[in-house]
């Protein structure tokens, strides 16, 4: 069962967003045509996206965005329909706004191609986003609009049936620093010892770890046990960068680290935590991909950018160039929510080049560091917010993707009092 879609111009933008909504989110096939006569005479389930209806089809009035061929400042005002935010208003359509142009604006990250204010790391900040400024960062609006389209189709064509779609929990762990003290070498540990003294932290803790080999960041067995207990689909992202000011993992030559990665890969998916430095140097990205490939002896298909520093479109173009198929970087470091307005995977559309790629983007919606470091929430406040976000994802049967770190599960220092939050999140996330 498929739907015939007519438009006066089947632009790349139009084809992309219709496929994303119907094929990827709603899980049905669509067929495109620009032939008016064929469309009018067809006895298929029909949708038109144009200036005026042609016959007895379900009609969505088009606005200009999907037919433009350049990146322009868009004058957008947000209003509510059925208590949900929407924009690109239009009259005489089955919906009072253009859900396809709105969804394209969000998924393409249109606003991130325009001049923008960035933080000290060069990141586009959550507070500068169109979604945050208009109060809907915590809503998966693209998925909500997709369900509105689904309702219109079913109301207009009662015999049309959509397949069921299931909510999923995809658990992810970032390994920025596999060990707090071990495998750092004597020079780094010596410097760290004196820094601990100067900053009035316990320098003996470092020595104790070095001699007992029990590192506070080594929570891998604890994680693997929990993931097996709850039968989780988990992906670990390991940083394998050369040492730098923003990339401070243990040396990639560490036998302990290599063994740890191989152990994790026996039970979970393993991806690359692409380094901060790799954004400006293509050779570093290729080098890091090859390092992980040599360790796990298989192609590296999954990545997440260190510091969640999305440099759109350059970062995604680099991943496409080197054959990466799935990236998990879409989200904000400073706020939870839906950066691209969705909790479903979608293909990266290169707005500069006006073409769809084969890189699948998997948006995350919550991160431990966001809650503790950026928002200064207590463990109980964090858990409440996590549950609110999970509920939003469950309401649209999307993918709930969280980020936690091995170091946040040692429950010491700044993570004191957080014991139980991660497991409670898991329990709530898998509860149907």
171-229 pLDDT, tens digit per residue, is 999 999 999 888 765 455 555 544 654 566 665 565 566 666 688 999 999 999 999 99
- Predicted confidence at residue 180, as pLDDT, reads 87
- Predicted confidence at residue 186, as pLDDT, reads 46
Beta bridge partners of 33: 6
Clarify whether residues 145 and 235 are in a common domain.
no
Burial (CB count within 10 angstroms: exposed 0-12, middle 13-18, buried 19+), residue 270: buried
Task: Convert the pLDDT of each residue in 358-380 to its tens digit.
Answer: 999 999 999 999 999 999 999 99
Split into its structural domains, the chain has a count of: 2
Q: Please check whether residue 321 lies inside any domain of the structure.
A: yes
Clarify whether residues 319 and 420 are in a common domain.
yes
The token pair that represents 153 in the structure block: 């189709």
d(CA 286, CA 274): 10
E strand map for 222-378? 233-238, 269-274, 302-305, 326-327, 346-350, 355-361, 366-367
Q: Which residue has the tokens 């992906």?
A: 235
Q: Please check whether residue 206 lies inside any domain of the structure.
A: no
- Predicted confidence at residue 416, as pLDDT, reads 95
Rg, C-alpha atoms of the chain: 24
Clarify whether residues 222 and 74 are in a common domain.
no
With beta carbons less than 8 A apart as the criterion, state whether 167 and 391 touch. no
Clarify whether residues 361 and 250 are in a common domain.
yes
Clarify whether residues 361 and 253 are in a common domain.
yes
The token pair that represents 389 in the structure block: 């976000």
The token pair that represents 295 in the structure block: 């360790």
Q: Which domain covers residue 425, as residue numbers?
A: 168-180+215-429
Clarify whether residues 325 and 255 are in a common domain.
yes
- Predicted confidence at residue 352, as pLDDT, reads 96
Clarify whether residues 146 and 173 are in a common domain.
no
d(CA 364, CA 383): 16
First-to-last CA distance in the chain?
A: 29
Q: Please check whether residue 126 lies inside any domain of the structure.
A: yes
> Among residues 20, 126, 142, 18, which one has the least CA distance to residue 85?
142
Task: Establish whether the linkage from the previous residue to 313 is cis, with ω within 30° of 0.
Answer: yes
d(CA 283, CA 314): 14
Residue 86 confidence (pLDDT) above 90: yes
Three-state secondary-structure class, residue 306: helix
Q: Please check whether residue 31 lies inside any domain of the structure.
A: yes
Q: Between the CA atoms of 282, 283, 286 and 289, what dihedral angle is there, to the nearest 10 degrees?
A: -100
> Among residues 314, 223, 317, which one has the least CA distance to residue 270?
223
Burial (CB count within 10 angstroms: exposed 0-12, middle 13-18, buried 19+), residue 87: buried
Neighbours of 262 (CB within 10 A): 13
Q: Please check whether residue 172 lies inside any domain of the structure.
A: yes
Q: Between the CA atoms of 144, 149, 150 and 155, what dihedral angle is there, to the nearest 10 degrees?
A: 130
d(CA 30, CA 35): 15
Clarify whether residues 75 and 175 are in a common domain.
no
> Among residues 372, 348, 380, which one has the least CA distance to residue 362?
348
Alpha helices in 130-281 (DSSP H): 130-133, 141-156, 185-198, 203-212, 220-229, 255-265
- Predicted confidence at residue 214, as pLDDT, reads 82
Average pLDDT over the chain, rounded to an integer: 94
d(CA 233, CA 225): 13
d(CA 16, CA 199): 54
Q: Please check whether residue 384 lies inside any domain of the structure.
A: yes
Angle at 428 between CA 422 and CA 432, to 5 degrees: 150
| 227: CATH | 3.20.20.370
- Predicted confidence at residue 222, as pLDDT, reads 95
Q: Please check whether residue 200 lies inside any domain of the structure.
A: no
Clarify whether residues 241 and 383 are in a common domain.
yes
Q: Please check whether residue 82 lies inside any domain of the structure.
A: yes
Q: How confident is the model at residue 395 (pLDDT cuts 50, 70, 90)?
A: very high
Clarify whether residues 150 and 222 are in a common domain.
no
Express the helix, strand and coil content of the chain in percent, nearest 5 each: 40, 20, 40
Clarify whether residues 221 and 148 are in a common domain.
no
Task: Convert the pLDDT of each residue in 189-203 to its tens digit.
Answer: 555 544 654 566 665
Which helix (H) or strand (E) covers residue 368, if one does?
helix 368-369
- Predicted confidence at residue 280, as pLDDT, reads 85
Clarify whether residues 272 and 367 are in a common domain.
yes
φ, ψ for residue 298, nearest 5 deg? -155, 165
Query: CB neighbours of 324 closer than 8 A, spacing ≥ 6?
Result: 289, 300, 301, 302, 303, 359
């Amino acid at each position: 069962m498929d739907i015939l879609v007519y438009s006066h111009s089947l632009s790349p933008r139009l084809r992309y967003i219709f496929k994303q909504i119907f094929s990827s989110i709603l899980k049905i096939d669509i067929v495109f045509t620009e032939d008016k006569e064929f469309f009018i005479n067809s006895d298929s389930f029909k949708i038109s996206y144009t200036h005026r209806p042609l016959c007895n089809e379900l009609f969505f009035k088009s606005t200009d965005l999907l037919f433009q061929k350049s990146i322009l400042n868009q004058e957008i005002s947000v209003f509510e329909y059925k208590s949900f935010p929407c924009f690109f208003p239009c009259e005489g359509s089955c919906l009072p706004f253009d859900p396809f142009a709105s969804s394209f604006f969000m998924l393409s990250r249109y606003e991130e191609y325009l001049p923008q204010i960035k933080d000290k790391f060069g990141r586009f900040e959550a507070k500068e986003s169109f979604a945050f400024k208009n109060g809907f960062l915590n809503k998966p609006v693209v998925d909500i609009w997709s369900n509105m389209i689904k309702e219109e189709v079913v109301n207009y064509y009662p015999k049309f049936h959509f397949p069921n779609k299931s909510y999923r929990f995809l658990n992810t762990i970032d390994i920025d620093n596999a060990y707090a003290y071990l495998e750092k070498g004597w020079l780094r540990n010596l410097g760290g010892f004196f820094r601990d003294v100067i900053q009035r932290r316990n320098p003996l803790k470092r020595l104790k770890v070095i001699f007992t080999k029990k590192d506070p960041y080594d929570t891998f067995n604890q994680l693997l046990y929990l993931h097996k207990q709850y039968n989780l689909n988990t992906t670990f992202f390991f940083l394998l960068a050369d040492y730098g000011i923003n990339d401070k993992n243990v040396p990639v030559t560490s036998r302990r680290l290599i063994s740890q990665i191989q152990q994790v890969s026996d039970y979970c998916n393993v991806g690359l935590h692409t380094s901060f430095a790799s954004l400006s140097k293509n050779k570093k990205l290729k080098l890091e991909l090859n390092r992980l490939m040599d360790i796990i002896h298989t192609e590296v298909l999954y990545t997440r950018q260190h510091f969640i520093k999305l440099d759109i479109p350059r970062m995604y173009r680099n991943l496409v160039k080197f054959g990466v198929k799935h990236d998990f970087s879409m989200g904000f470091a400073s706020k939870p929510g839906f950066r691209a307005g969705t909790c479903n995977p979608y293909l990266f559309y290169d707005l500069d080049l006006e073409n769809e790629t084969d890189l699948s983007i998997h948006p995350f919606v919550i991160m431990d560091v966001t809650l503790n470091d950026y928002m200064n929430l207590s463990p109980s406040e964090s858990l409440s917010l996590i549950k609110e976000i999970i509920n939003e994802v469950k309401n649209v049967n999307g993918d709930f993707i969280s980020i936690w770190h091995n170091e946040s599960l040692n429950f010491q220092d700044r993570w004191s009092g957080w014991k139980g939050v991660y497991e409670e999140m898991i329990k709530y996330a898998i509860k149907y």
